[in-house]
Amino acid sequence: MSPHTADESIYQVEATEYPTRWAATKYTLFFVVILALLPILPSNHIPMQVDDFNFTLEQGEYLGFGVRNLVAGDNFSVIFQVTGGNVNFYFMDEPNYDEWKYGLAYTAVHSVSSVTEYTWSVIVSANGTWVMCFDHDGSDTITVRGYIALNTELPSLDQSADLLRNVAIVSAAALVVAGVSFILYRRRHQVPGSA
């Protein structure tokens, strides 16, 4: 005769079926979340990155950002906004940036003077480190804020908060659905005599 009662036997069956059913529910929820996020996921398989920046420059100051490990064919983009004045913007390889810093002859892939708001993209022509330089020759203190992107579209300066909010809403909704599904499953398949 078995040392287990009928209730314990049922409990053991429920316990072995539970992980399988819950695993199926988890996979279903995972695919629902992925489908919900598809509109904001990248459409290509190239590694992508978006970074933001925010800094202040005094009169006569400049700031160069080295963007390392770019590969020929990468799509590099920048968007920025200046408050309190304007800025000169340059994009060049590292050797030319060094020449520019010391006042020597240099060649920039792109340069623009006295801008307060700017958007620009380029397909990188060679592997290596490229420099994005902001030069302030005005008399006021300025603040520059913006984004750089690699192999993806840039968010607008106002849309990035909307994107993060939408991802948070979709994630919260998925967690609520998972929690309610779990509670309903547990109630429907509760073992007699357990609380």
- Output the pLDDT for position 42: 45
Question: What integer is the mean pLDDT of 39-58?
Answer: 66
pTM above 0.75, yes or no: no
Q: Edge to edge, what strands does the sheet with 142-150 contain?
A: 49-57, 142-150, 75-83, 117-123
pLDDT by residue (tens digit) across 63-99?
998 888 888 888 899 999 999 999 999 999 999 999 9
**Which of residues 175 and 47 earns the better pLDDT score?**
175
Going 173 to 149 to 154 to 135, the CA torsion angle's sign is: positive
Q: Which CATH class is domain 49-151?
A: mainly beta
pLDDT(7) > 70: no
Beta strands in the chain (DSSP E): 49-57, 62-70, 75-83, 87-93, 110-115, 117-123, 128-135, 142-150
- Output the pLDDT for position 173: 73
- Output the pLDDT for position 17: 44
In which band, very low, low, confident or very high, does the pLDDT at 182 lie, cut at 50, 70 and 90?
confident
Question: What integer is the mean pLDDT of 182-193?
Answer: 67
Q: What does pLDDT average to over the chain?
A: 75
Backbone torsions φ then ψ of 23, nearest 5 degrees: -60, -40
Q: Where are the domains of the chain?
A: 6-41+161-188, 49-151
CA-wise closest residue to 142 among 109, 161, 114? 114
Q: Over pLDDT 70: what percentage of the chain?
A: 62
In which band, very low, low, confident or very high, does the pLDDT at 10 lie, cut at 50, 70 and 90?
very low
pLDDT by residue (tens digit) across 108-145?
999 999 999 999 999 999 999 999 999 999 888 999 99
pLDDT by residue (tens digit) across 30-45?
655 555 555 554 443 3
- Output the pLDDT for position 92: 95
Name every residue whose Cβ is closer than 8 Å to that of residue 8 and which is 6 or more positions away in sequence: none
